[in-house]
Chain A
Amino acid sequence: MLLIHCPYCGELRDEQEYRYAGEAFIQRPGLACTDEQWGDYVFNRTNPKGKTVEQWAHAAGCRKLFVVERNNVTNEIYAVRTFESYKEQA
């Protein structure tokens, strides 16, 4: 069982309160994209072993989405960040 820190609530909470919401930062292609590009956007994921950058939703808490950088082999959580913090960094 994971304990995840919610950046909005500011507390460590149990995994049961969260929902996994898929890979983070998937770029939606433009309207002029090909069928291959659209299919890639909808279905294909990078699926790495090791460090992943994921979206999680605090479904039973503040209901906000945020980013968790996690190792999917060891379950170590490297960082939990808001989307705003990435924008500020860019």
Chain B
Amino acid sequence: MAKFETALEGRDFNALAGNGFQVSEERHYGYVVLRIRSSTTGAAEALANLGIQLPSALGVTGSLDTKLVKWISPDEYLITLSLSQKDAFIKDAKAALQGIFAAVVDNSGGYSLLKLSGEHVYEVLAKNCVYDCSQFLSEGKVVSTLFSKATVLIYRLDAQHIYLMPRWSFADYVFQALELSSREFR
């Protein structure tokens, strides 16, 4: 079996860690894009059978332990779930949404997921983001915005952690931006 590697393989996350800022990579998640409008006929029943509740704008439902459904746009949702459950879920979702105007696409490997924590996390984000995370990124909120020049998804599920999700091709760029902007907090 091929060795499992992420876009940030071999990067030293400990080099970024300081007293007030830590970064770790969440490796074992799969990403599934669900394109559907909540008003589509039959969508509500099919999604309920899958155990999915569609969030409202900028919201999330579920949790990373089961399935985390994130709002991307009015007809697009990103589901994060354990890599081991991903294939079975896609099969079930395609079966459940048969005949409904919807799409289920496996985008695992398309993103990198970084978990940020520490008391200086908002200061590091503020150096890179045009979005004011400290004021507006409340718990259970997801925003698509810019991190330096890369498009990222930023979300917060609890008080301590912020999840930063760049596309894999921008992961190294984001890592280097984090390295540079967190230097003063080490």
Contact = CB atoms under 8 A, between A and B. Distances in A.
B58 A60 contact: no
B54 to A, nearest CB: 14
B6 interface: no
Nearest to B144: A61
A62 B145 contact: no
B136 A11 contact: yes
Nearest to B129: A14
B50 interface: no
Contacts of B102: none
B74 interface: yes
A59 B145 CA distance: 9
Contacts of B136: 11
Q: A-side binding surface: helix, strand, loop or mixed?
A: loop
A10 interface: yes
Contacts of A9: 57-58, 143
A1 to B, nearest CB: 9
Interface of B: 57-58, 72-74, 76, 130-131, 136, 143-146, 151
30 contacts: A8-B57, A8-B73, A8-B74, A9-B58, A9-B143, A10-B57, A10-B58, A11-B58, A11-B136, A13-B130, A13-B131, A13-B145, A14-B130, A14-B131, A16-B130, A17-B130, A17-B131, A17-B145, A17-B146, A59-B151, A60-B144, A60-B145, A60-B146, A60-B151, A61-B73, A62-B73, A62-B74, A63-B73, A64-B73, A64-B74
